[in-house]
Every structure is written in structure tokens, then in C-alpha cells.
Structure 1
Amino acid sequence: MNKFGTAILLAGGKSSRMGFDKQQLKVNNILLVEYIINRLYTVFDDIVVVTNNSEHYTNLPCRTVQDEIPGYGPLSGIHIGLKMAKNQYGYVMACDMPYINFDYIAYLKNRMEQVDCDACVTVFNQEWIEPFHGFYSKKLISPIEEYLKSGKRSVFGLLKNFNSIYIEEEIAREYSPNWDLFLNINTKEDLLELETQWSNLNM
């Protein structure tokens, strides 16, 4: 078993600012979720998509599942994603995040190999926890469930009670100087900007 072999893709957001389901986002005629899943599949052998629309993924190398405790943001998806994961840790990202940095993933794995931990996430501006592009352990399944059922939803509020590795912003920027790794496509303007960037890269 590859303990870092699972990726969890959260695709259950409301997409209110975009005006349509972000699972249908296309960038220069490329379906973004399909692009993300195929990229993830080059380094992860188990991909779990948390979604209410499993029909979008029938021809892709992934499994789908719905939130078990809905309505609590990313933690709801992380919870069920970890329950479905075949491996010890799940790498979490969202369906509207177009960038994946394999070198950063390798760096996170290396840090986690050095110490037993429950999560490995990035810190922004010395205080904000980036819940995405980080690893979470299956040992958190029960604690997350109890946390959600108590009405709480903060990722930082949860992780501060566990053995978590926090990657400093300075280190993360060595891999993503413009912080585009943590970019979400939330609006049509964001989408147009991404299309321009990808066109310039011939993607």
C-alpha cells in the first residue's frame, strides 16, 4: 500500500459567484475536472471525488461519494473522502483549483516521512490555514465527525488539537511564487484570466 496514494477532490461547492456548476468549468474547451483528475492520476493511484453529481465522472479514473455530514464546507468533504480512501493519507484539493505542483507534493511527503503526523497543510500570512493542497490522515475521521456534529467547521480549529505539520508561506512560495497553486476559479473574470494564461502556455 502507498500510504500517500489517495487524492481527494472536493466538488460540492455552491458555485454561487460563477453562476453555474463549477464541475462544468471548461478552460479553452478542456473540462477542468477531467484535466485535474488525469493530472492527479499520474502520482496517485486512488482518486476520490466528493460530489452530488457522480454522472460527471463515469469515464474518469476515480470513485465518487457524497457528503455524509453536509453543510460544513471543506471539512464535510474531507471527512467522507478520508472514509473512502484506500490509503493512510489523502491529498485534498478542490475542483476549481487548476494548478497542481508535483514538486510541492513530493516536498510534503518528504516532510511527513520524517515525523508521525495527522496532517500537513500550508500557512498563509502566518495565521491562515490553506485547507487544500495538503495531506490528512485517516486517523482524523472520527475526530472530524465529532467536530462537525458539534457544529464546528474550522479546519484550523480542528488541526490545532492534533499533530499537524504547518508549512511556512516562505517555503511554499519557493514552489508557487505567485501563490497560484492555491488559486480558486470563483468568477467568470477568473476563468477568462486563466484561459489567457493557458493560451500563452499553449495548454
Structure 2
Amino acid sequence: MTQRRPVVQPSPAAPAVLDADALVLAGGRSRRMGTPKASLPINGVAMIESVLRVVEPIFRRTLVVARPDIALPSLEAEVVFDQFPDRGPLAGLISGLQATTARWCFVTGCDMPFLDSEVIRLMAGQLEGAEVVAVRSSGRIQPLHAFYHRDCLGRGESLLREGVTSLMALHDRCQVKVFDEAEFAGGGRLRRSLWDLDTPEEYAAALAG
């Protein structure tokens, strides 16, 4: 169930540290990239480290949710293992929610090195009355640049038991607020924040600036 909302604007009272945790999903096999994405460098920094540098200062706790056999660069962040490996991002989200007691979690992938903290803060100001807060870009909802309430946990576990692995299937069972680019102050920053690197061509474009 999706709600439409007015244009998202900055909140002058936004706290320095948001009352939420961050989950960085690193459980995929990077088949399209052909090599583990988390360790690929962007401006001399591993891609996952670029993500962590954005989320760690603004969330109470940051968890990297990783496949048990994945090779990650040396990280200071807390790493928890995906309890349902190779079952997609829904499984990573559920593993992360099981490992935290936070009411809200911001969920992102390890392949989004251009995350924008101000975009995330704008989204955090829209949590009231929702169970999921996400954005739509180029006609597509971005489930891995979104906030999920703890109430999503039980429904996500049920989906996994049913053999469903899609995050969008979870959206169908939750109260979702979705913001289009046109509704979002700072559309250009939003698009860059949503940029995920899945293929060698996308990685090359990111390196080229």
C-alpha cells in the first residue's frame, strides 16, 4: 500500500544522529560485476568503505550484513552474517533486523558509494505513519535506499518461509510512503545518492566522474 506525499523539505530540528540504525547489505555474489563489489575502489577507497563513511556518523549503530564466505576489506564496522545466504536482499534485510533492536533501519547496498547524508536525513523526516519510506527514480522504487520499521520483520520472515525473496513483495505487505524525484527537494542529489554500481560499465562510468 503506497501513500503519496507533498514535497520533502529539510527539517530545521533534525538531530545530528538519527534515532535509527543502518544496515549495509553485502551478501550478493556480484555476478554481473564479475568481482566482489564491496572491495572495488572509488577514489582510492573501497566501495563499502565509502558507504560506511556516510552512514556511520548519522546513525546510532551500523551493521554490515555479509555472506559468511565473502571477502571484505578490513572494516571497523560491526559485521553480522546473513542467516539466509543466497536468498537475495530480503534475506539480508531480515538478518539485519534480527540483529538489531532499533525501531527503524536505513537499508542500503555496499555498491552505492555516492550516498548523500542530507538525502537520507530528508527521508528520515518522513517516517511518521509509515512502515517503509522509499523513493522512486526513473519510474522505479529503490528498495535498497529506504527506511524499514521493525514491524516489517515478522512479515519478511513469513515471506522467506513462503520462498519469496523480493523486497518489493515486502512492500506489498507494508504501509509504504514513496516519494518521486519531482516531490523531493534536491532531485539531482537524490539521483546521485541512488546510484548503484552493478556492472563493469557502471563502475567505469563512476570512475570517470
Shorter-chain TM range is 0.7 to 0.9
Report sequence identity in percent: 23
Give the RMSD, CA atoms, in angstroms: 2.3
Higher helix share: 1
- Give 1:42 shift: 1.6
Pick closer, same or farther for the CA change 1:77–1:38 going to 2, 3 Å.
Answer: same
Alignment of 1:8-157 (within 5 A): 8-52=23-67, 53=69, 56=72, 59-60=75-76, 62-112=77-127, 115-126=128-139, 128-157=140-169
TM, length-normalised to structure 2: 0.81
Tell me how far 1:78 sits from its aligned partner. 0.7
SS where residue 97 of structure 2 aligns?
A: helix
Higher relative contact order (CA 8 A, sep 6+): 2
Question: Per-residue deviation at 1:111?
Answer: 1.2
- For normalisation by structure 1, the TM-score amounts to 0.83
**Is the 8 Å Cα contact of residues 134 and 178 (structure 2) preserved in structure 1?**
yes
* Cα distance, 1:50 vs structure 2: 0.8
Separation (CA, whole Å) in 2 of partners of 1:134 and 1:101: 13
Q: What SS does structure 1 have at the residue aligned with 2:49?
A: helix
Residue 189 of structure 1 pairs with residue 201 of structure 2: yes
- Are the aligned partners of 2:115 and 2:194 in contact in 1 as well (CA < 8 Å)? no
**Does the 8 Å contact 1:4/1:90 carry over to 2?**
no
Aligned residues: 192
How far apart are the structure 1 equivalents of 2:83 and 2:147?
20
Q: Tell me if the contact between 1:46 and 1:86 (Cα under 8 Å) persists in the aligned partners.
A: no
Q: Does 1:174 align with 2:186?
A: yes
CA change 1:66–1:17 in 2 (3 A) is same
How far apart, in 1, do the equivalents of 2:59 and 2:129 lie?
21
> Deviation at 1:30?
1.5
Task: Return 144-153 or 185-194, whichever deviates more.
Answer: 185-194
Instruction: Indicate the residue corresponding to 2:10 in structure 1.
Output: none
One-letter amino acid of the counterpart of residue 158, structure 1: L
Q: 1:107 to 1:65 in 2, by over 3 A?
A: same
CA deviations over 1:25-67 (Å, ceiling 9, x no partner): 112322121122122112112001011257736541x211122
Q: What corresponds to 2:8 in structure 1?
A: none
1:4 and 1:91 in contact (8 A); partners too:
no
**Structure 1 residues not aligned, in runs of 5+:** 198-203
Partner of 2:126: helix, strand, or coil? helix
How far apart, CA to CA, are the structure 1 residues paired with 2:120 and 2:189?
Answer: 15
Contact preservation (8 Å) 2:119, 2:189: no
